[in-house]
Amino acid sequence: MNVQRAYQTAMDEIAFSETELHRLQQSLHRASEEQEEFQLTHTIQKNHVLRLLLIAALVLLVAFSAAAAVRFFVPKKLSDELQLNISSLQPVVNLSDAASGSVTTVQKTQYTNGLVITFEAIAKGKCFVENSWQSANGGNVEDESTYAIFTIRSEDGSPFYGNQDGKDFTQPYQAPNFGYNLLLEGYAPNPSALIDHHNIFNYEENNVLYKAYDITDAVPFADKHPYIIINDGMIVSPDIMRIDKDGEFYFDEHYTGIRAMFDLNLNPALADPAKQAEVLERDPLFTYDEIVALFAEEGRSYDNYTPLVFNEVIDEDGTEPATAQ
Amino acid sequence: MEPFTGKDIDQIVEHNAQHMLRAAYAVLHSNSDAQDAVQDAFLILLKKQPTFRDASHEKAWLLRVTINIAKNEAKRKRRFADEPPQETAAPESGEDVLSFVLQLPEPYRIVIHLYYYEGYSIQEIARLLHLPAATVGTRLARGRKQLKTMLEQEDAK
């Protein structure tokens, strides 16, 4: 039996009837008309309110200009300086959370392929500004998950998505994917062990692309020196990422795609051996045959792939993986 | 930006509604809930009035919004339901395959649907769902493995 064809045939029977489709169109016409009426009324009211506000602002400006002039010469408070350090995160993170220590700032930058990639901070999902990440990505940011936040800029300042409001990222054929992988010191690179079931969130403002990568499963490994890799390939594999004799990761010299590697620099006190074991005991990831078959289906070759799995620990000489105990 | 005209709305519905319904059905297992998700997705479209590069961009955007609405609805139902959700019987043709796909964990069946029904590649699904491509590949591989096991067990009966 051809599974794909059987699935397609069965799914084809899930359909709107002609009547249902017509009803849907009618209800959308009504909604569109109501929305136009609302916008028209709202614009008239808004213009009226704006005029009143402008007059009030002018009166206030005249009344307090002397006091305002004095205030400009008052030295900045410490809290203001702290806010300046995290101002680059203003569009995506609540500054009050950052000031209270719920957001750990990192601010390390790397340059690759005409891009400036800055690892800005680590933050819980609950610290995110709702109107940015969540409206742009469908509201799936998890409050208790931990995210590594990056800003990515083009060196020439050009936008990444260039759409009408910078908030739509569903463009499957253009901008780089900016995939990510997490690596642990002493462990061989693995396709997806620590990022399975995790999302990437996007937000673009003023040609700066903000990315939030879920690193929740890396946190329990805080004592294992986790790194985050940003690349435009599908999977971190030996043809992209190599390990030297000291166990240090580095990008293969022949790999020319987007590449940036940052030390997550997590507090070792966050290490959790029980959770580490839980992650290690997950289902096996790709086998070599599975990944080759997947690539072949898409007309791509993956000849250089060497099957390395997460629970393989690099031997002391730093070259050959051995199974973890 | 010009608001959508009645003609635009009709065309967008005609081109995309059935695809959106099937994607929502893959998440919700219920035709009526899936229809509601599609309607909500179109309402978001009217509210945001996005500009699309081409028809494939429009479809990808609508699929993503529909899937998100369906996932949120499924989550809401799980949170408030005392009993597990009642699943609608699958149609008769290809019944086994569809019903088995619908038994897979939600993340697997969304990826399987987009890959097998809509014909997106792993990279395209990754961009559409905002997931790492490696995760999409893993879900696809695991979903297929589970599906194969279920079909083999069915054959053995």
- Chain A interface, best mutation among B38, B73, B87, B97, by max A CB count within 10 A: B97
Q: Which of A73-77, B9-13, B95-99 has the lowest average pLDDT?
A: A73-77
Across chain A, what does the average pLDDT equal? Answer: 71
Mean pLDDT value across residues B104-115: 92
Q: Which of residues 122-141 of A touch B (CB under 8 A)?
A: 137-140
Q: Which of A72-76, A108-112, A292-296 has the lowest average pLDDT?
A: A72-76
Burial A287-324 (b: 16+ CB within 10 A, else e): eeebbbebbeeeeeebeebebbbbbbebeeeeeebeee
CATH number for the domain including B61? 1.10.1740
- Shared-domain flag, residues B105 and B84: no
Mean pLDDT value across residues B23-28: 95
- Shared-domain flag, residues B32 and B83: yes
- Shared-domain flag, residues B105 and B36: no
Q: Which of residues 7-26 of A touch B (CB under 8 A)?
A: 7-11, 13-16, 20-21, 24-25
Sequence spans of domains, chain A? 26-74, 104-323
Q: Which of A5-14, A139-148, B41-50, B109-118 has the lowest average pLDDT?
A: A139-148
Q: Regarding predicted confidence, which is higher, B153 or A242?
A: B153
User: What confidence score (pLDDT) does residue A193 get?
Assistant: 57
From B55, B72, B88, the end of a domain falls on B88
**Cβ-nearest to A24 among B25, B39, B51:** B39
User: What confidence score (pLDDT) does residue B34 get?
Assistant: 96
Segment A172-193, tens digit of pLDDT: 334 566 778 788 876 766 544 5
B30: containing domain: 1-88
Segment A15-59, tens digit of pLDDT: 999 999 999 999 999 988 887 776 666 666 666 667 777 777 776
The answer, yes or no, to whether residue A111 has pLDDT greater than 90, is: yes
Cβ separation B13–A179 shorter than 8 A? no
Q: Regarding predicted confidence, which is higher, B41 or B50?
A: B41
User: What confidence score (pLDDT) does residue A277 get?
Assistant: 81
From B66, B88, B110, the end of a domain falls on B88
What is the number of domains present in chain B? 2
Segment A125-148, tens digit of pLDDT: 888 887 566 555 554 678 888 999
Cβ separation A14–B34 shorter than 8 A? yes
Mean pLDDT value across residues B145-154: 86
Residue type, A127: C
Segment A249-268, tens digit of pLDDT: 888 777 788 889 999 989 99
User: What confidence score (pLDDT) does residue B109 get?
Assistant: 92
Q: Which of residues 238-297 of A touch B (CB under 8 A)?
A: 283, 285-286, 290-291, 294
The answer, yes or no, to whether residue A151 has pLDDT greater than 70, is: yes
In this structure, are residues A186 and A247 in contact, taking their beta carbons and an 8 Å threshold? yes
Q: Regarding predicted confidence, which is higher, A94 or A292?
A: A94
**Cβ-nearest to B95 among A10, A199, A236:** A10
- Shared-domain flag, residues B105 and B132: yes
Residues of B in contact with A36 (CB under 8 A): 3
Cβ separation B131–A29 shorter than 8 A? no
Under 8 Å CB pairs connecting chains A and B tally to: 190
Across chain B, what does the average pLDDT equal? Answer: 83
User: What confidence score (pLDDT) does residue A301 get?
Assistant: 55
The answer, yes or no, to whether residue A318 has pLDDT greater than 60, is: no
Q: Regarding predicted confidence, which is higher, A100 or A184?
A: A184
Residues of B in contact with A27 (CB under 8 A): 39
Q: What is the DSSP letter of B119?
A: -
Nearest CA in chain A to B2: A36
From B73, B88, B103, the end of a domain falls on B88
